[in-house]
Structure 1
């Protein structure tokens, strides 16, 4: 384990926040090389070997989706063409992505995090924030909690993770990136100018490639450059996003850790951040079908039905859109997917690169086994339950839908690690 703790004093009034140790109650957990690590955990013979999860290992134009740290030591990077990765690391083990494995491992990771606090916000398949306020008597100070989390995940799942600790979400996330793999970093707000500001601007959360290129063209090269530009200038150039980036660059983030299932809100959903932007309806539909299947399984397992389907889309400039539609109460994968697909086709041009998709079902109530006026609907409900039982007994790979077969066989999509 690597433990990094850096402190120095500056004028804290400039940061608008205090840096006292008692406020360091936000933890960010980031799984290391998650997809490659999942394969290594599942197959012990892969441990210590350079593992590359690739879009299509058999094709010359395939790309690297993620690489284990053993492969990264040879210079292999995400989005690198397979042929280039093979030249750099001749003894690499190339594997196709196994989305079901990643989802199952992710769920187990999140279950472990909830042992330490109920306030867990799942950010992506391999990242989450925790608010550990008031957990000291049970588990110790935040650094002790981080050490316990890291140890339990490694011992129970065989997966490495890096952890950041700070006073808010943006700084905790930035801290978790500072030491990988298996690092634990405490970042105080007064350390931002020395530790965070020298970093390239593209390393700030919310700055994608297009935004970085635009900022660089304005001679804003580092996070410090961004933090010291007048906020009015950034607002004029980028609108509300400019102000948000200015605050984050200065280590300011007032957003709470949100578990996403608060009182008065009943919804279940899944989202995924992709390792490579998708730009075709065919790819997007395959992702939506997988997400709809997950949502449907989860809703059916808890004996709920819902009537509001919500689609979330985030493009490569981090602009997020949500669109919803109300339908008759349902919990079938088909109804959820069909509605999500219509929302996608009505609100996306099929060209703007998408980096995140999410599907949720809300307006939940207990499944009252309503009598359908259409026999086909009842057949779908029964079919979904049969599929669920098969998967429960024989595993997620036992049966999958035709649209998911495209995802498996063509391997034109992957998921962020």
Structure 2
């Protein structure tokens, strides 16, 4: 039996949550954005009324206000979005236990075995849309396909409040004419690589010799070729979020930082935050990732693998600083800094060191964890955060 997979994607989710909570916002241009005064003023979400005025996700708030002066600008309230997401997932699980959250506002459902209970996949999709709209107050676009890839692609073909069925035999007519950038898994960097090979549409990729793609991009080249042909055997995994794969934190700076000594202060703050979250989950990780974005929104991400898993800020900081010094020239402006620890595993037993230096570090960092748990995040922090470069503990 051919699988039946749904991908339900909430429409303009953050903005829709506020419209659901305040009926007076329905039909009005709603923009969810950060604080422009702290340079974290970018658009996180925009209602379709605001999108019609040209407002886009990631746009600076001042530009959004220029395009949509009568818009309702709301600061993000993530606890609300998480609450709505939890309610929506509960509705999905009324149809099938095979629900895989893909992000806070979308999830896959495997309804292959639900036909005798709820009817064909299209009827299940309609029933799901009706319940979410009636019980939660937001709309969603649903894609239906024989695998996760085609369900995901279908959901984006008709928005908002759409329902699209995409079968394998529909791929040449529906997907191949689209720009290759529209294929799930192709980002700006791969788009440029593919363009150099003369690949501009999904159809170009689907009909390109897979042997050359494998030589050029390795196994990912073959994966992209299979996606372009609508092939995907990955299961809907309801336990995909049971274990954490990485922990990261990033922040947009209040001004462009040009000196490494300033950027290092922020890296240390982020390393502390990431290490505390890793320890709280009982994890340790070997791969440190440093992400930087400049004033022109050019993005750099580099990683370094450590000899052994760690949950210490000191280890994360040293690795991230080595990446900074190796890959980012002194004097080049930085607008955003991100630090992450990946390749997480259950925290292994601590190895004793000859002079106990590592043990003292662990004791100090865990003592800080306990103080922050009891008295709040600002109860204890490093002296470097009191300098002009500190951002996480603004005075």
Structure 1 segment 378-417 matched on structure 2, within 5 A: none
**1:184 corresponding residue in structure 2:** 163
SS at match of 1:23: coil
Does structure 1 retain, via aligned residues, the 8 Å contact 2:151–2:166? yes
CA-to-partner distance for each residue in 1:39-89, whole Å, 9 max, x for gaps? 223333322211112233447894322211010111222223333322322
CA-to-partner distance for each residue in 1:271-318, whole Å, 9 max, x for gaps? 799999xx978489669948976995xx7xxxxxx4555879698799
Structure 1 segment 115-130 matched on structure 2, within 5 A: 115-130=94-109
- 1:74 matched to 2:53: yes
**2:8 corresponding residue in structure 1:** 29
1:254 aligned to 233, 237, 251, which one?
Answer: 233
**1:233 corresponding residue in structure 2:** 212
Structure 1 segment 112-261 matched on structure 2, within 5 A: 112-260=91-239
Structure 1-normalised TM-score?
0.66
In structure 1, list runs of 5 or more residues that go unmatched. 1-21, 300-305, 328-335, 365-373, 388-398, 411-417
Does structure 1 retain, via aligned residues, the 8 Å contact 2:251–2:337? no
Say if 1:406 and 1:135 are closer, same or farther in 2 by CA, change over 3 A: farther
**2:295 corresponding residue in structure 1:** none
Give aligned pairs, total: 350
Higher relative contact order (CA 8 A, sep 6+): 1
Say if 1:359 and 1:41 are closer, same or farther in 2 by CA, change over 3 A: farther
Structure 1 residues 186-195 or 313-322, which shifts more? 313-322
Does structure 2 retain, via aligned residues, the 8 Å contact 1:267–1:360? no
Does structure 2 retain, via aligned residues, the 8 Å contact 1:208–1:317? no
Structure 1 residues 306-315 or 35-44, which shifts more? 306-315
Structure 1 residues 81-90 or 342-351, which shifts more? 342-351
Say if 1:171 and 1:379 are closer, same or farther in 2 by CA, change over 3 A: same
Q: CA RMSD in A?
A: 4.6
Say if 1:181 and 1:313 are closer, same or farther in 2 by CA, change over 3 A: farther
Structure 2-normalised TM-score?
0.70
SS at match of 2:113: coil
Does structure 2 retain, via aligned residues, the 8 Å contact 1:28–1:169? yes
Say if 1:210 and 1:309 are closer, same or farther in 2 by CA, change over 3 A: closer
C-alpha distance in 1 between matches for 2:214 and 2:86: 39
Structure 1 residues 56-65 or 81-90, which shifts more? 56-65
- 1:345 matched to 2:348: no
**2:89 corresponding residue in structure 1:** 110
C-alpha distance in 2 between matches for 1:204 and 1:89: 31
C-alpha distance in 1 between matches for 2:10 and 2:305: 27
CA shift, 1:227, in A, is: 1.0
CA-to-partner distance for each residue in 1:138-173, whole Å, 9 max, x for gaps? 333222221222222222222221111111111110
Say if 1:157 and 1:176 are closer, same or farther in 2 by CA, change over 3 A: same
**2:25 corresponding residue in structure 1:** 46
Say if 1:400 and 1:122 are closer, same or farther in 2 by CA, change over 3 A: farther
C-alpha distance in 1 between matches for 2:165 and 2:129: 14
SS at match of 1:267: coil
Structure 1 segment 333-372 matched on structure 2, within 5 A: 338=313, 341=316, 345=320, 349=324, 363=346
Does structure 1 retain, via aligned residues, the 8 Å contact 2:33–2:75? yes
CA shift, 1:105, in A, is: 2.6
Does structure 1 retain, via aligned residues, the 8 Å contact 2:143–2:165? yes
SS at match of 1:66: strand
CA shift, 1:259, in A, is: 2.2
Say if 1:307 and 1:317 are closer, same or farther in 2 by CA, change over 3 A: closer
